[in-house]
Amino acid sequence: MKFFFVPLFFLFPLILSSTIEEEIIVTESNWLFLPSIDQINQEEIELYNSHHFKELLNLSSGAWISRGSGQESLISLRSPVLTGSGACGSFQILEDGIPIRPAGFCNVNNLFEVAENLSSEIEVVKGPSSSMFGGNAMHGVINVKSTNIDGNNNLNFQVDKNESVRSKFLYKSLENTAVGFELVSDNGFRNHSGFDHQKIILKNFNNIQDLSLQTLISFTNLNQETAGYINSYFYPTRIENINPEAYRDAKSLRIKTEISRGLKKYNIYFTPYLRFSSMEFIQHYLPGKPIEKNGQKSTGLTIKLSEIEINDNFFEIGSQVEIAFINLDQFQPDVLNSPNAFNNAVRPQGYHYDFEVVTNFFAGFISHEIELKNNYNFFSNLRLEYLNYDYDNLMSDGRLKDDGTACARGGCFYSRPADSELSFKDYSYRLGLSKITSIGNIFLQFSKGHRPPQINELFRLQKSQVLAELDSEKIDSIELALENKGNDFFNKLVFYYSKKKNYIFKNSDSSMVLGGKSRHKGIEIKGAKVLNNSFSVKYALNLAGHYYDFTNQDIGVASGNEIDTSPNLFGSIFINFQASNKLNIEIEQEFMDEYFTEPSNAYIYKGHNLTNLRTSFEMSDAINLNLSILNLFDKEYAERADYSLFTGERFFPGIPLKWRLGINYKFN
């Protein structure tokens, strides 16, 4: 499989052309360079009508969304698939540029809280972006842009092989207002693994004198019957669910209003926002199967002054303030009665954790860009952040039962630190240079990213640990990019090298500790080419290496080992055939290389190739029929492979062949 990609990397310079259309990739500011961004447009979002974020992110090079059960996922952006209680803090999930969660309180399944199928565009920024988007953007950013207010109304209905039903409705005929619904009832392909998912958005645009106001209300609700790991991804095991009792219920609500005004020398933006989320689920993967409940209420404000011009220098300055009220508890409803007497003794019935945290967050940032002679541009960003945790333990401190008595065998497994207040101060920056040449735009940039320790790393301790002495993780990166666009093609080639330190990990005594190091290098290629009037091709490919840069024999880590769940090669090639004016056919060939499933590199998943088919037939200007077939050849594969010392090899099985039939109606 690896050798398949080699011709593509050599093919890249051959399809460059001397006919260049200048293109600068931008964010909200129309002058800000971002060489490592992929944009998934509305046409692609409508065509894919994805059942899982993974399907859309296949369009981005260097991005891999590992599908879990139902709507669960793990993220990889120019990184391994990161796991652990705070690993999700390495990726920033935004909605119209605003984080969907408060700083320090990430959720590993963040993506089911956004309405990707109701969006106008999805931006995927890869690599350290903390200087632009905040500390959690250490490995990258996914920004979901809400629907446009103008355009056609849209009604979509779809059924699939599993007798699942989903509908989507976007109504834009109200004055300055758009409302959208996505309603899903999915039976799942594994036993007792269905889910119901509702997403609602309301967007309004208005003017009050010289002010422009854009308000977005976004609500999601998920009720999921969860299926966990199994020991084989082959039939019939792949449809089994050994945890029929597992579930996940989650809600989120976000409200924001962007208030903007254009002045003579700059534009000013005020964006106040409110956020709420709650979640309850069974930790079926733990002895005793405790139930976790968590939630947050948060509010904040961003202020930006943009397009400030001083002697041909352009600046953007701004700040962000935020306060969040966070709660979490973990309760084991039953006495553990397993063959392991030690586990029975140290994992008592009752509450294991019950705490509240108030967070206060402040950030200030500045961005700069100047056009130099000979088509050179210099750009930079600097961001300073302060995050404070005020932690209140609502139970007894230490390793006691919830009634204050001691566990046998040396103490309870779960440890609760005493009330404390912690703060973290961090900075991130980016420096870069770009030049327009005869073969395209060339970018060179240096960037430093960070992420603060997350609440779950600091306050959900185990065994003898009573204090987690952690600091923010740091990453330094250099990247070189070439972007080239002509009348019938587009290409982007990116080389990067990164080093991360202060890696937070769990040691052999189950303590959260600091001191891990890693290094990351890779090549990303994304492009499209029109071959003739009927055929076109696009591709999003990744060649990477992610390595431990420290040794800890107790957990099987040796410097130079590949980090587990980090394939060297993955990506997709899309071949599009316009069979007629009405019929369009797209074939996606998805590639996943082999990868190690644990740190010592003793166990390996062999990888897979999948073929997906999507068709679209225009019955009229208003009505469109679409048929998709995922895993066309019914390959047996793993969405994610892992190894545990307690259970051995384990897998999230990939979906069998699955057809989806839908009808889409557009009207004014």
pLDDT tens for each residue of 454-483: 999 999 999 999 999 999 999 999 999 999
What local confidence, expressed as pLDDT, does residue 33 receive? 64
The answer to whether the bond into 236 is cis (omega within 30° of 0) is: yes
Residue 15: predicted pLDDT: 41
pLDDT at 18: 36
Q: State the pLDDT at residue 9.
A: 42
Say what the pLDDT of residue 25 is: 36
pLDDT tier at 2, thresholds 50, 70, 90: very low
Q: Bigger pLDDT: 21 or 424?
A: 424
User: Which pLDDT score is estimated for 6?
Assistant: 44
Distance of CA 423 to the CA centre of its chain: 26
Average confidence (pLDDT) over 193-209: 96
Cβ count within 10 A of residue 529 = 16
Whether residue 404 has pLDDT greater than 60: yes
Per-residue burial over 181-197, b if 16 or more Cβ lie within 10 Å, else e, is bbebebbbbbebbbbeb
Please check whether residue 76 is in contact with residue 66, taking contact to mean a CB–CB distance below 8 angstroms.
Answer: yes
Q: Which helix (H) or strand (E) holds 312?
A: none
Backbone angle region of 62, left / alpha / beta, with phi > 0 → left and psi within -120 to 50 → alpha: left
Q: Which residues 6+ apart lie within 8 Å of 18 measured at CB? A: 438, 439
List, in sequence order, every residue forming a beta bridge with 668; answer none if it has no partner: none
Residues 538-561: tens digit of each pLDDT? 999 999 999 999 999 989 999 999
pLDDT at 10: 41
Q: What is the pLDDT of residue 30?
A: 40
Distance in angstroms (rounded) separating the CA atoms of residues 273 and 555: 42
At 657 the three-state DSSP class reads coil
Number of folded domains in the chain?
1
- Tell me the per-residue pLDDT of 13-58, one tens digit each, with 9 for 90 and over: 444 443 333 333 333 444 356 778 999 999 999 999 999 999 999 9
**Could you report the per-residue pLDDT of 259-317, keeping only the tens digit for each?**
999 998 899 999 999 999 999 999 999 999 999 999 999 999 999 999 899 999 999 99
**Contacts (Cβ under 8 Å, ≥6 apart) of 214:** 203, 204, 205, 257, 258, 260
- Helix, strand, coil percentages, rounded to 5, for the chain: 10, 55, 35
Burial (Cβ within 10 Å: 0-12, 13-18, ≥19) of residue 22:
exposed
CATH number, domain of 619, equals 2.40.170.20
Domain residues for the domain of 487 are: 2-667
- Cα–Cα distance between 116 and 199 in angstroms, integer? 10
**Average pLDDT of the segment spanning 590-595:** 97
Give me the chain's average pLDDT, please.
93
Tell me the per-residue pLDDT of 85-107, one tens digit each, with 9 for 90 and over. 888 999 999 999 999 999 999 99
What are the distances in angstroms from CA 222 to CA 104, 247, 281, 328, 557? Answer: 23, 10, 11, 19, 37
- Spatial distance between the Cα atoms of 62 and 524, rounded to a whole number of angstroms: 6
pLDDT band at 415 (very low <50, low <70, confident <90, very high): very high
